[in-house]
């Protein structure tokens, strides 16, 4: 049996027998790509390149499936880092005030917390604009303008409620998508 040495936390460990090293690799205590050496080897090599350790590495689970990339990726709720939240609460709150989502987009691009709320504010802003324009046009049609007396307040109150929910989420350090529209798109990453 050969006597092996292996690297652990940047330090040479050993000597141990081939069977002991096999057991460590099989248990996962030593990774299959850990550098090993024994007398007769010209240089340190990964354990999985040595015939003595072939096929004994623990089964590795498959990687997570790739997420969809692009503009239709839906934002999920996540827990941001506390330091990021404390430094960027104001940026998060600004994201929900009309066009002020531009401020965090330009000033706090490195912050995941700010970018989450910037995206939510941008989606809210665009949704409000897309709904507002047809409502304005429809308001000029005779007899329909009477129906618009009900539609305009519903539109305004809905938008205001979403703005307030977004501001509350940002001010309390939460990264929670807005109801109905919050999970539509990821426009800002």
Tokens 């305004």 belong to: 156
Three-state secondary structure call for residue 164 = helix
Q: Both tokens of residue 63?
A: 């990687």
pLDDT value of position 74:
46
Are 172 and 89 in contact, with CB atoms under 8 Å apart?
A: no
Q: Which residues contact 154 (CB under 8 A, 6 or more apart)?
A: none
- Which of the 8 DSSP states describes residue 48? G
| Position 76 confidence tier, pLDDT thresholds 50, 70, 90 | low
Mean pLDDT within 5-20? 91
Mean pLDDT within 146-160? 88
Average pLDDT, the chain: 84
Q: DSSP letters of 56-112?
A: -SPPPPPPPPPPP-STTPPP--B---HHHHHHHHHHHHHTTSTTTTHHHHHH-TT-H
pLDDT single digits (tens) 17-47 = 999 999 998 888 888 889 999 998 999 998 8
* Stated pTM of the model: 0.55
Q: How many CB atoms lie within 10 A of CB 108?
A: 22
Sign of the Cα torsion 58, 59, 65, 66 reads positive
Specify the domain boundaries for CATH 3.30.1490.40 within the chain: 3-53
Residue 70: pLDDT above 50? no
pLDDT value of position 80:
74
pLDDT single digits (tens) 98-139 = 888 889 889 888 898 899 989 999 999 999 999 989 888 888
Tokens 């989450």 belong to: 116
Q: Domain 3-53: which topology?
A: Dna Ligase; domain 1 (3.30.1490)
């Amino acid at each position: 049996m050969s006597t092996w040495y292996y690297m652990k936390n940047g330090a040479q460990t050993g000597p141990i027998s081939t069977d002991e090293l096999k057991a460590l690799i099989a248990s996962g205590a030593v990774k299959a790509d850990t550098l090993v050496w024994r007398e007769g080897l010209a240089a340190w090599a990964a354990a999985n390149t040595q015939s003595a350790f072939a096929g004994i590495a623990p089964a590795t689970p498959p990687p997570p499936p790739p997420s969809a990339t692009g503009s239709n990726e839906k934002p999920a709720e996540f827990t941001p880092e506390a330091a990021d939240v404390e430094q960027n609460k104001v940026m998060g709150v600004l994201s929900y005030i009309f066009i002020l989502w531009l401020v965090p987009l330009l000033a706090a691009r490195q912050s995941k917390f700010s970018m989450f709320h910037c995206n939510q504010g941008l989606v809210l802003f665009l949704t409000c604009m897309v709904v507002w324009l047809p409502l304005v046009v429809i308001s000029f049609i005779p007899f329909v303008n009477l129906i618009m007396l009900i539609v305009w307040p519903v539109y305004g109150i809905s938008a205001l409620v979403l703005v307030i929910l977004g501001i509350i989420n940002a001010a309390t350090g939460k990264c929670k998508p807005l109801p109905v529209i919050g999970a539509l798109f990821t426009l800002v990453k």
